[in-house]
Amino acid sequence: MKNLPIIKGHQVYIGQMPDTPEFYEIYKSWLNSERVRFGIGDADYTAEEVAEMLNTWRDDPDDLTFCVYDSVSNQPIGDVCIRFGFEEYDNDCPETAIMIGRNFGQGNGYEAMRLLLNYAFNKLNYPQINLSVYEDNIPAVRLYEKLGFKKITLRNDKTNGRSEYVMMLTEEDWKKQNWDVKG
């Protein structure tokens, strides 16, 4: 199991994913919610499938999945990740993803992604980060654009045919836009 750092922001912080049956139930409820399923396009999950998925991520050295915690309550509200090998891109750079399971529309996702991207560019020294997002997931597309990601192409998701943008953010563009963020 990897020991991920705790990275603190104002509203949220990111850190190690809990490894408890109670958390698997919480995570399952997020994944199975209509709002999250619209964004990730997956089917219903069982608690056992969630436990297996989270343990696979924990054991994979190319997957850095952080839990997003509310800074006041210290309760988990979602996750953010940087990982290799999940999607097909025309480069050897990692991809990122976010899933907020509760406390939507309060800037938590934006802050969690800023913490993660700052870590990826300033500590891990990645030159570029990719992502794919469904074209009709307007809140996520807006979030990624606000963070500085640029749309590269529009393609069809191989699993369900939905249109998705491939987006990318370079370290150079991140640092130009986020000159005030400390490394």
Count Cβ neighbours within 10 Å for each residue of 60-98 and write b for 16 or more, e otherwise: eeebbbbbbbbeeeeebbbbbbbbeeeeebeeebbbbbb
- Residue 182 inside a domain? The answer is no
Other Cβ atoms less than 10 A from the Cβ of 180: the count is 5
Q: Does 152 reside within a domain? A: yes
Host domain of residue 24: 7-177
| Residues 26-40: tens digit of each pLDDT | 988 888 877 766 667
Average pLDDT over residues 67-83: 95
Taking 70 as the threshold, does the pLDDT of residue 183 lie above it? Answer: no
Residue 1 domain-assigned (yes or no): no
pLDDT at 1: 57
Q: Is the pLDDT of residue 87 over 70?
A: no
Kindly state whether residue 121 falls inside one of the protein's structural domains: yes
178 falls in which pLDDT band (50, 70, 90)? confident
